[in-house]
Amino acid sequence: MTLAPVLDRIDADLDASVERLFTLLRVPSISTDPAYAKDCQKAADILVDDLKSIGFDASKRETPGHPMVVAHADGEGQHVMFYGHYDVQPVDPLELWDNDPFDPKLEDAPKGKVIRGRGTSDDKGQLMTFVEACRAWKAVHGSLPAKISIFFEGEEESGSPSLIPFMKENAEELTADIALICDTGLYGDSTPAIITQLRGLLGEEIKITGPNKDLHSGMYGGLAMNPARVLAKIIASLHDETGRITLPDFYDGVPELSNELAASWDDLKFDEKDFLGDVGLSLPAGEQGRRPLEMIWSRPTCEVNGMTSGYTGEGFKTVLPSEASAKISFRLVGRQDPLKIRENFRKMVSDMVPEDCNVTFHDHGASPASQMSTTHPAFDQARKALTDEWPNAATFVGCGGSIPIAGHFKKYLGMDAMLVGFGKDDDQIHSPNEKYDLSSFHKGIRSWARILHKMSSDG
């Protein structure tokens, strides 16, 4: 089966592809907020219907949380399994969006057209690149260049509580020769990137309680314990003056960067001034003595993602708060053990809580870092296919984000995974005004068409 007419078909069908993506983007499938559970169902239904229209045997599969979408289509050659997620991040602060986050628009921007809206880049736009590539193959040749399974989840942005049980229960059905995952980005603007290492993630919420109600800070201030001060002290103690994390044994299993990888990353000529400048910053703020790229790809972190206590509305209220809470996450690397780190974190925090306060912990997921097995032939095939499509040659890179699915595929299904994606650093994923370049979407579809071709016997 030839590639050229498939690429032509993709070009000709682009407007319709964008329209199909818009239908999915209009559904506010925010997985972390129970108020949007029906919308998650609706997004899954749209995907099932669309996959059926291409000829997939597709179904929505209920879980205790949001449903999975699983689809299969026969084809020649290798069996590949494609993964993406249809759920999206919350949209607050809503007032910082220029438009309704769930009313997607195609906008002119300085570097070309962009698709604007929540989930455009993370991950609805990316997962549709693969679906649209399959649609084009099917339209042109009447069949696919591989046996293809598709697996979409709806809980990726909320810790994937149903994922592992579902994978275990459906292991045979979900196992293929290799998993393809589209939830990452290009390196810079035009260098296609294949991720070979991903940071893990540990999410913890802590709540410190003191007085049994908010107190008057005049009547009680000076005598009563203030949980906001306790929380601030705990957070302040998590890093030392050099930016290192102070948890006992935290750096166990953190590898030093190999000379080879260090040299390869140096070749990328990462410009931290540009990278930080785009978000209004200028100075690398991580561990002293580390390369900027190392700080985000291969060093662990501890960040406060949110904190709240007392009166936070307009004006002033002289209250002594009864509680204070924080959402704290760790990005993990190498062989760091998330469960051991959780245990040490909880112990350290508990030890700092004074006698008159209590602390409760809420688990928001834990996944180790992932290291890809680049010896699988798909890595070389994809590198060639991507190099054919893009101005620059494809490269192997690290990723600071956490996409635990790759590790799960290896652990529970014995399946290698390859991560290829077309997002850009300025896509503002997880932030207001998220966008996905129209060129990412268009060339993304063409890239998957090429990768599937390269992996086939005709490639």
Is residue 303 near a second copy by the rule CB under 8 A?
yes
Which residue in the set 38, 52, 111, 233 belongs to the binding site for a second copy (CB under 8 A)?
A: 233
213 touching a second copy, by CB under 8 A: yes
List the one residue from 108, 260, 314, 351 that touches a second copy (CB under 8 A).
314
Question: Out of 199, 383, 408, 442, which residue is the one contacting a second copy (CB under 8 A)?
Answer: 199
Name which of residues 107 to 166 contact a second copy (CB under 8 A).
157-159
> Rule CB under 8 A: is residue 331 a binding residue for a second copy?
yes
Q: At closest approach, how far in Å is the CB of 309 from a second copy?
A: 5
Among the listed residues 104, 125, 154, 203, the single contact to a second copy using CB under 8 A = 203
Using rule CB under 8 A, residue 274 touches a second copy:
no
CB 98 within 8 A of CB 117: no
Q: Which residue has the tokens 């068409």?
A: 449
Q: List phi, psi (to 5°) of 351.
A: -65, -25
Size of the site for a second copy (CB under 8 A): 99
Asked if 361 touches a second copy (CB under 8 A), the answer is: no
Question: Of residues 173, 205, 337, 388, which one binds a second copy by CB under 8 A?
Answer: 205
Pick the binder of a second copy from 215, 369, 419, 455 (CB under 8 A): 215
Give me the least distance between CB of 249 and a second copy, in Å please.
19
What residues between 65 and 104 interact with a second copy by CB under 8 A?
Answer: 89-90, 92, 96
For a second copy, which is the closer residue by CB, 70 or 261? 261
Q: Report the phi/psi class of residue 34: left, alpha or beta, with left for phi > 0 and alpha for psi in -120 to 50.
A: alpha
Nearer to a second copy, 282 or 375 (CB): 282
- Angstrom CA distances, 297 to 18, 100, 411, stand at 32, 33, 22
**Residue list 179-198, contact with a second copy (CB under 8 A):** none
Decide: helix, strand or coil at residue 351.
helix
- The yes or no reply on residue 412 touching a second copy (CB under 8 A) is no
CA distances from 220 to 310, 318, 322, 324, 397 (A): 15, 11, 12, 17, 55
Stretch that binds a second copy, among 40-48, 174-182, 187-195, 287-295 (CB under 8 A): 287-295
- If we measure between CA atoms, which residue out of 200, 251, 234 comes closest to residue 368? 200
Helix (H), strand (E), coil (C) string for 189-205: CCECEEEEEECEEEEEE
What does the alpha-carbon distance between residue 412 and residue 111 come to, in Å, rounded to a whole number? 42
Q: Are 143 and 387 in contact (CB under 8 A)?
A: no
Phi, psi of 113 (to 5 degrees): -70, 145
Question: Pick from 21, 127, 231, 353: which binds a second copy (CB under 8 A)?
Answer: 231
Run of H or E residues at 166: helix 163-169
Q: Is residue 52 part of the contact set for a second copy (CB under 8 A)?
A: no
